[in-house]
A and B are shown apart, each in its own frame.
Chain A
Amino acid sequence: MTFHITVDGREIPVVPGQTVGAALHAAGVRSWRTTRFGGRPRGLFCGIGVCFDCLISVNGRPPERACLLEAEPGDEVTTA
Chain B
Amino acid sequence: MTQDLTYDLVVVGGGPAGVAGALTAALAGLRVTLLDSGARLGGQYFRHAAVPRREPGLDRFLRQVRELGARADVLTRHQVWNVSREPDGDVTVHAHTRDASGERPVTLRARRLLIATGAHDRPLPFPGWDLPGVLTAGGAQALLKGGNVLAGRRVVVSGTGPFLLPVATGLAGAGARVLGVYEAGGGLGLARHPLLALGKAAETAGYAAALVRHRVPYRPRHAVVAAHGEREVEAVTVARLDADWNVLTTSIVACDTVAVGYGFVPQIELGTQLGCDTRAEPDGSVVLAVDAAQRTSVPGVWAAGEPTGVAGWAQAEVEGRIAGRAVVADARPQAVRGSDGVLLRRRSRGRAFGAALHEAYPVRPGWQGWLRDDTLVCRCEEVPLARVREAQELGATDARSVKLLARPGMGWCQGRICGYAVSCLAGEPPAPPRRPIAQPVTLGALSEAAPPDAGSQDDPAH
- Chain A residues proximal to chain B, CB less than 8 Å: 15-19, 22-23, 25-26, 30-31, 35-38, 40-53, 55, 62, 67-68, 70
Contacts and interface: CB of A to CB of B under 8 A. Distances in A.
Q: Is the interface of B mostly helix, strand, loop or mixed?
A: loop
B149 interface: yes
B148 A15 contact: yes
Interface stretch (B134-142, B303-311, B325-333): B134-142
A16 B149 CA distance: 13
A77 to B, nearest CB: 16
Q: Is the interface of A mostly helix, strand, loop or mixed?
A: loop
Interface of B: 37-40, 44, 49-51, 120-121, 130-136, 138-143, 146-151, 231-232, 379-380, 382, 411-413, 416-417, 440, 442
Contacts of B146: 19, 22
Contacts of B38: 68
A47 B382 contact: no
B143 A22 contact: yes
A21 to B, nearest CB: 8
Given A16-B50, A47-B135, A51-B413, A42 B130 contact: yes
Nearest to A43: B132
Contacts of A70: 39
Given A47-B142, A51-B413, A51-B417, A19 B147 contact: yes
A48 B138 contact: yes
Given A38-B382, A46-B120, 16 more contacts: A15-B50, A18-B49, A18-B50, A18-B147, A25-B149, A26-B149, A31-B232, A35-B382, A43-B133, A45-B379, A47-B135, A47-B142, A50-B121, A50-B417, A62-B442, A68-B38
Contacts of B40: 17
A19 B47 CA distance: 13
22 contacts: A15-B49, A17-B40, A18-B50, A22-B147, A23-B147, A26-B147, A35-B382, A37-B382, A38-B382, A42-B130, A44-B143, A45-B130, A45-B134, A46-B120, A46-B138, A47-B135, A47-B138, A48-B120, A48-B138, A50-B120, A52-B412, A68-B37
A47 B121 CA distance: 10
Contacts of B131: 41
Nearest to A70: B39
A27 B140 CA distance: 15
A37 B387 CA distance: 14
Nearest to B147: A22
Nearest to B460: A52
A42 B120 CA distance: 19
Contacts of B143: 22, 25, 44, 47
Nearest to B153: A28
A15 B147 contact: yes
